[in-house]
């Protein structure tokens, strides 16, 4: 077994510490709060409703925890419209295929 010199040990320790710090700071920078995701997709819903000639407001949306690869399910339904838009969001905050359905 080869022994590392004290300088090599210090260099290796500093490199590992730097990698840990970069990894942790990168994870924090990309973390998205659930509330931010709900707000983002509620605004997307409002824009889509407006384009369809429907008055949608963010309060039309409710969210609940998803399962598996789905982090959140956000359902938006304008009062009396007879349909809802469902946004499924993955663990990274990306939109999964949307499901619109009659209710």
C-alpha R_g of the chain: 22
Report if pTM > 0.75. Answer: no
37-95 pLDDT, tens per residue? 999 999 999 998 899 888 899 999 999 999 999 999 999 998 877 788 899 999 999 99
- DSSP H helices, 1-103, are 6-30, 34-51
- Please say whether the beta carbons of 99 and 86 come within 8 A: yes
């Amino acid at each position: 077994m080869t022994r590392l010199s004290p300088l090599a040990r210090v260099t290796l320790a500093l490199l590992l510490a730097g990698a840990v710090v970069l990894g942790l700071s990168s994870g924090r920078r990309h973390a998205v709060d659930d509330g931010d995701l709900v707000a983002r997709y509620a605004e997307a819903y409002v824009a889509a409703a407006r384009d369809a000639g429907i008055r949608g407001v963010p309060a039309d949306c409710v969210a609940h925890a998803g399962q598996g690869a789905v982090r959140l399910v956000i359902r938006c339904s304008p009062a009396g419209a007879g349909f809802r838009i469902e946004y499924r969001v993955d663990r990274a905050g990306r939109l999964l295929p949307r499901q619109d359905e009659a209710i």
